[in-house]
């Protein structure tokens, strides 16, 4: 990427020569404008760290002395401008005062950038996030390339902006629009950023030099805060808006679980009318958040995601996917794969499920793809295939028919002779061991599991299941495929329920036993939400489908017996009546527009007890320890990541095993023993706790 043009002259080291800067190249063009190219050494993306901020400080000293006619900051990375702070620097922070001192040093450098007595321009392509956006905000002008994306994702790490962004963003952009972006972590594109006044111009790469000339010369029309910004900065307005923001934040998360949004609202409400006071308060607030268990666990989850991405490896060769079964799971798997640039054929016995799947796909693409042409192209790649002819050319066949062993084996008998050499046969079974499924196959070595989770578009995990005869090369290719479709693979050995469903089943069945104890379903769900789960087990059962819950429960009880709660007889009756949950419009809850009607139930005065929460949550940790002991998964960190990304398990807890460590292994084991004495052997602590650390 030649971002400097052909007329580059020297301000610092000569191009190609050893210079004083490792992460930057500083040059001056023929008009005397300094170009600062940000190209962090040894990484694919620019991130901010203490050593890099120190180097930027030296560059600012040089600029203050040299006094060029203007300054342009650009990135030398294809991925974008700056992806934010180097999250490694946040891990393990325990001293808020030390964090505040460190962030204070970075603040001083960003303040110097803002105070330069020359026109300064940030030219932004790709991602401009978090600390990167704060650097851009310290420049006088911002020019966005059309592909630029802007956002403050700090809330995802249990933080809020910490390099002056809370101040500069709310002063530049209407706080009613700026605050929600910081509170949710959502990103916006270049056109939206221009409409908000975040950037001054949007252009194409080939026009950058002309846009910079206009900016430096003063010809660029700059975005300026409107009168409304000043009015909304008044104390009474901030108080009113802050109350509304807290109510909205409360709908998404409890303050004791996720304090960052509430800290940001407090910060703006108290200091939004005083720039200097808010800058100082931002540093202290950021430092306090950094050392909270929530932030440290969310930072841990960030690295768990990166660790699981690496499990995918590289070299995906899958181009054509054939999906058999266009129901809720099969149809959505097909839609996701087509949305990730793969050719997909979708087969079913009847046309109606295929039509429904394509309609859901169109709805999904309308939400996640920004261009109409992209939606059209994705739908073109998703091809109905009533005759199942796609089997012959597919690199990967994914079977997603109902959880019946004989039915699946009949499907395999029909398709296996048609598969081309080297093709992978994958099952989306949620519970049936591959050792049972493979018995009728001519080539059992090419069978493996690709277990997606519902909803496919939101849950990132895919369990990649192997049996003792799975071809190692095909398993490697399956892992690469999962990474290529932007999902997180979990290599897992075949066993009933694998990892995630084996952990989830006692959670949901225990909730159904509580219903037998005449505990209201909304109170049961509230017990889980109070712990931090995104939804309660009763609502989750409806979401998954009560027929699937019943099938998985029966399968696991046939293998694990009294280690699981019994399946209530009335659950079979509900399934027989067609009350299957969300997909049928009725289960435990009535569903309208894809949402459960939870308005009925006991009064709010009926609070869930700590014992109820332990009955739901601790068996999940117990199962995870058992899976480690049995070698189904061999890494405790990956187990935590899998349960978070596959079920939505409270991220701020860091996963079921991390929660057990935090609570104390002895406490967890003793609580399980107490529950065993009161409720039975299903709570018996697994032997793996003895060696778990």
First and final C-alpha spacing in the chain: 49
**What are the structure tokens assigned to 566, written together?**
């019994």
**What are the structure tokens assigned to 112, written together?**
């110097």
Whether residue 690 lies in the annotated active site: no
Q: Which residues are registered as beta bridge partners of 463? A: 451, 490
Q: Which of 134, 403, 510, 579 is the catalytic position?
A: 134
Sign of CA pseudo-dihedral 664, 669, 673, 679: positive
CA 228, CA 209: separation in Å to the nearest integer? Answer: 34
**What are the structure tokens assigned to 612, written together?**
């109820």
Q: Can you list the alpha helix ranges (DSSP code H) found in 67-164?
A: 96-115, 131-138
In eight-state DSSP terms, residue 126 is B
Whether residue 134 lies in the annotated active site: yes
CB neighbour list of residue 602: distance below 8 Å, 6 or more residues apart: 520, 522, 523
Q: Which of 100, 102, 154, 539 is the catalytic position?
A: 154
Tell me which residue has tokens 């940030």: 122
CA 397 to mean position of chain CA atoms:
27
Nearest residue to 91 via CA among 99, 79, 83: 99
Nearest residue to 245 via CA among 175, 163, 188, 164: 175
* Helices H / strands E in the chain, number of each: 27, 21
Helix (H, G, I), strand (E, B) or coil at 143: strand
**What are the structure tokens assigned to 241, written together?**
């808006």
Instruction: Check: CB of residue 542 under 8 Å from CB of residue 588.
Output: yes
What are the catalytic residues? 134, 154
């Amino acid at each position: 990427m030649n971002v400097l043009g052909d007329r580059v002259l020297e301000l610092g080291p000569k191009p190609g020569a050893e210079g004083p800067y490792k992460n930057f190249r500083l040059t001056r063009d023929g008009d005397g404008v300094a170009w600062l190219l940000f190209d962090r050494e040894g990484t694919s993306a620019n991130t901010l760290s203490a050593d890099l901020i120190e180097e930027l400080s030296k560059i600012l000293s040089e600029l203050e002395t040299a006094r060029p006619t203007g300054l342009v900051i650009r990135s030398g990375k294809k991925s974008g401008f700056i992806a934010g702070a180097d999250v490694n620097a946040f891990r393990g922070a325990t001293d808020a005062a030390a964090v505040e001192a460190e962030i204070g040093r970075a603040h001083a450098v960003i303040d110097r950038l803002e105070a330069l007595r020359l026109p300064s321009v940030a030219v932004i392509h790709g991602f401009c996030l978090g600390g990167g956006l704060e650097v851009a905000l310290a420049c006088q002008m911002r020019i966005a390339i059309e592909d630029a994306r802007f956002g403050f994702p700090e809330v995802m790490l249990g933080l809020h902006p910490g390099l002056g962004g809370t101040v500069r963003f709310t002063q530049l952009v209407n706080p009613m629009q700026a605050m929600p972006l910081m509170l949710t972590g959502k990103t916006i594109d270049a056109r939206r950023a221009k409409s908000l006044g975040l950037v001054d111009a949007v252009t194409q790469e080939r026009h950058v030099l002309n846009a910079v000339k206009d900016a430096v010369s003063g010809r660029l029309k700059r975005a300026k805060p409107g009168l409304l910004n000043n009015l909304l900065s008044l104390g009474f307005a901030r108080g009113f808006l802050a109350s509304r923001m807290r109510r909205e934040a409360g709908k998404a998360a409890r303050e004791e679980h996720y304090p960052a949004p509430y800290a940001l609202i407090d910060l703006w409400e108290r200091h939004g009318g005083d720039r200097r006071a808010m800058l100082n308060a931002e540093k202290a607030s950021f430092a306090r958040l950094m050392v909270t268990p929530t932030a440290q666990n969310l930072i841990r989850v960030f690295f768990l995601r990166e660790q699981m991405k690496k499990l995918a490896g590289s070299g995906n060769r899958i181009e054509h996917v054939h999906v058999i079964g266009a129901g809720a799971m099969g149809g959505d798997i097909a839609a996701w794969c087509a949305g990730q640039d793969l050719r997909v054929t979708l087969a079913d016995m009847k046309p109606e499920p295929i039509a429904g799947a394509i309609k859901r796909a169109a709805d999904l693409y309308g939400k996640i793809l920004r261009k109409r042409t992209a939606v059209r192209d994705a739908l073109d790649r998703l091809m109905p295939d009533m005759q199942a002819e796609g089997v012959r050319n597919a690199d990967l066949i994914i079977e997603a028919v109902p959880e019946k062993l004989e039915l699946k084996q009949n499907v395999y008998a029909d398709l296996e002779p048609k598969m081309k050499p080297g093709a992978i046969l994958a099952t989306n079974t949620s519970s049936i061991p591959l050792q049972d499924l493979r018995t009728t196959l001519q080539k059992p070595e090419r069978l493996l599991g690709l277990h997606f989770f519902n909803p496919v578009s939101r849950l990132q995990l895919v369990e990649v299941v192997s049996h003792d005869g799975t071809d190692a090369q095909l398993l490697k290719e399956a892992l690469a495929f999962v990474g290529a479709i932007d999902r997180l693979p979990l290599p897992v050995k075949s066993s009933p329920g694998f990892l995630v469903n084996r952990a989830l089943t006692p959670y949901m069945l225990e909730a159904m036993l509580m219903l037998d104890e005449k505990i209201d379903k909304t109170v049961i769900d509230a017990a889980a939400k109070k712990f931090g789960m995104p939804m309660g087990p009763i609502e989750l059962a409806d979401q998954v489908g009560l027929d699937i819950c019943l099938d998985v429960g029966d399968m696991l009880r046939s293998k694990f017996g009294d280690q699981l709660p019994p399946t209530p007889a009335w659950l079979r009756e509900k399934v027989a009546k067609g009350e299957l949950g969300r997909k049928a419009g009725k289960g435990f809850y009535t569903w309208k527009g894809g949402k459960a009607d939870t308005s009925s139930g006991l009064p709010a005065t009926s609070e869930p007890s700590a014992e109820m929460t332990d009955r739901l949550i601790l068996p999940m940790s117990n199962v995870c320890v058992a899976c480690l002991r049995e070698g189904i998964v061999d890494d405790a960190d990956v187990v935590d990541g899998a349960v978070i990304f596959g079920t939505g398990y409270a991220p701020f807890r860091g996963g079921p095993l991390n929660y057990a460590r935090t609570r104390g292994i002895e406490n967890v084991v003793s609580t399980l023993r107490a529950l065993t004495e009161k409720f039975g052997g299903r709570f018996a602590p697994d032997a793996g706790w003895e060696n778990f650390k």
